[in-house]
């Protein structure tokens, strides 16, 4: 193809191929165990597949309503009330999205304008900052550090000014596996009281939490819920990341603006899958057990690593485990992750890629949403390093 003859001005000049694609490609090339990208390597529920099939055969194959099927929104409202004692109107305050990433982008587009500042905690999921930039905003990053990646709220307070439009939080947290406590959210509530700051709370791993902790959703805190958009992902909850299905929940005045943008980004989402999830999610057992399910995998992986030189950091949620390799080498995270893939055949993700300044603490992220056989093989190799 002849190239486009005029000049191209990139809206994201610093952005190249993501490290996730690079590491997965390397893993394939070197036939390595791929613990880099976050996706399960096991089957999803047969019942859920059967339900999607059933609704396709029944002819539910045309556009769903713009905000999503009302039956699914009602089921989400019920679950939200049961779990967090928060009452949301399914008609006006819940929207089904094409995965959490779309919900996050839509929320940022709906509220962030030229000149606005958004506070982001780094290491951060990779879609937040590009979405802020694409909408003319500026990301102000608050750095969290190992081993516990704790937030110092008095320092966050100093970042707030009249341009602060939004604060993005994420718990359970990718990539660190840390969680916010009720005390953290009380601090955030105090910080934002009497401001017009909106909270965008990424809670895609709400059901993947360990050690008897309860997920602290912003929805439990009325002073936060009134200014929050909460994003969740069925991809994470039902081990079906390829389906790209999620939702956003927010008070009516925020959701009205969210939907104005949502309708022009995707309009509506996959119809038969919405019918299937609406039926499947009514049975609480289909999501309430996944914390225990992944905790077993975490414990299996961590236990298999007990004789390794890697230091295991605490993972209280998500399906990620951070390993600190300060005792092994001084190589940069990226160099070491590449060498681990090429020479030792285990792929991971350098945590430095989740900081815009590529801060290097010598910590790698491993995904344990894999079969025990895969985890055992990977751990065996890591113990030899």
Region 144-173 residues binding ligand PLP, contact defined as CB under 6 A: 170
Collapsing DSSP to helix, strand or coil, 121 comes out as strand
List the one residue out of 322, 239, 347 whose CA is nearest residue 21.
347
Residue with tokens 């193809």: 1
Which CB, 100 or 278, lies closer to ligand PLP? Answer: 100
Per the structure block, which two tokens stand in for 365? 């992220």
Residue among 93, 122, 202, 333 that touches ligand PLP (CB under 6 A): 202
Q: How far apart are CB 317 and ligand PLP at their closest, in Å?
A: 11
Q: How would you classify the pairing of strands 320-324 and 311-312?
A: antiparallel
Q: Please report whether residue 38 would count as binding ligand PLP according to CB under 6 A.
A: yes
Cα→Cα distances 383→40, 304, 355, Å: 23, 8, 28
Q: Please report whether residue 315 would count as binding ligand PLP according to CB under 6 A.
A: no
The CB-side HSE value for 261 (13 A sphere, CA atoms) comes to 18
Q: How far apart are CB 367 and ligand PLP at their closest, in Å?
A: 10
Q: What whole-number distance in Å separates Cα of residue 385 and Cα of residue 371?
A: 22
DSSP 106: H
Residue among 27, 83, 100, 304 that touches ligand PLP (CB under 6 A): 100
Q: Which stretch binds ligand PLP (CB under 6 A): 97-105, 134-142, 280-288, 340-348?
A: 97-105
Q: How would you classify the pairing of strands 363-367 and 320-324?
A: antiparallel
Residue among 125, 287, 294, 368 that touches ligand PLP (CB under 6 A): 125
Which CB, 24 or 233, lies closer to ligand PLP? Answer: 233
> Total residues at the site for ligand PLP (CB under 6 A)?
14
Q: Please report whether residue 123 would count as binding ligand PLP according to CB under 6 A.
A: no
| Cross-strand pairs, 142 | 121
Residue with tokens 């910080």: 191
List the one residue out of 242, 273, 281, 358 whose CA is nearest residue 77.
281
Q: Please report whether residue 34 would count as binding ligand PLP according to CB under 6 A.
A: no
Q: Please report whether residue 176 would count as binding ligand PLP according to CB under 6 A.
A: no
Residue among 135, 176, 192, 233 that touches ligand PLP (CB under 6 A): 233
Q: How far apart are CB 38 and ligand PLP at their closest, in Å?
A: 5
Residue among 99, 123, 291, 350 that touches ligand PLP (CB under 6 A): 99
CA dihedral 115, 119, 124, 126 (to 10 degrees): -20
Q: Please report whether residue 204 would count as binding ligand PLP according to CB under 6 A.
A: yes
Q: By the criterion CB under 6 A, which residues form the site for ligand PLP?
A: 38, 99-101, 125, 170, 174, 202, 204, 233, 235, 241, 244, 246
């Amino acid at each position: 193809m002849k190239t486009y003859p005029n000049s191209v001005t990139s809206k994201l000049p610093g952005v190249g191929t993501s490290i996730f694609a690079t590491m997965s490609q390397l893993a394939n090339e070197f036939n390595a165990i791929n613990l880099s990208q976050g996706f399960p390597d096991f089957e999803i529920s047969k019942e859920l597949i059967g339900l999607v099939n059933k609704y396709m055969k029944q002819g539910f194959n045309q556009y769903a309503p713009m905000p999503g099927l009302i039956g699914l929104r009602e089921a989400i409202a019920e679950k939200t009330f049961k779990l967090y004692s928060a009452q949301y109107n399914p008609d006006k305050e819940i929207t089904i999205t094409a995965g959490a990433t779309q919900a996050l982008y839509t929320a940022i587009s709906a509220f962030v304008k030229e000149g606005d500042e958004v506070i982001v905690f780094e290491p951060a999921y990779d879609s937040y900052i590009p979405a802020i930039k694409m909408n003319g905003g500026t990301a102000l990053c608050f750095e969290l550090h190992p081993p516990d990646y704790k937030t110092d709220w008095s320092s966050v307070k100093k970042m707030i000014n009249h341009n602060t439009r939004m604060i993005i939080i994420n718990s359970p947290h990718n990539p660190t596996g840390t969680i916010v406590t009720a005390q953290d959210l009380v601090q955030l509530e105090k910080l934002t009281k009497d401001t017009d700051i909106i909270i965008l709370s990424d809670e895609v791993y709400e059901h993947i939490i360990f050690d008897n902790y309860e997920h602290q959703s912003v929805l439990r805190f009325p002073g936060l819920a009134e200014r929050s958009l909460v994003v969740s992902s069925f991809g994470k909850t039902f081990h079906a990341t390829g389906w790209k299905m999620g939702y956003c929940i927010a008070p009516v005045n925020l959701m009205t603006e969210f939907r104005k943008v949502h309708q022009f980004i995707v309009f509506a989402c996959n119809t038969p899958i919405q019918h299937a999830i609406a039926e499947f999610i009514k049975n609480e057992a289909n999501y309430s057990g996944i914390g225990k399910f992944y905790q077993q995998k975490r414990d299996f992986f961590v236990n298999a690593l007990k004789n390794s030189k890697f230091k295991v950091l605490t993972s209280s949620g998500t399906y990620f485990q951070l390993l600190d390799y300060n005792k092994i080498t001084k190589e940069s995270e990226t160099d070491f992750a590449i060498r681990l893939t090429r020479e030792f055949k285990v792929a991971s993700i350098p945590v430095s890629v989740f900081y815009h300044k590529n801060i290097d603490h010598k910590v790698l992220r491993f995904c344990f949403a894999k079969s025990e056989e895969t985890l055992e093989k990977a751990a065996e190799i890591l113990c030899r390093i």
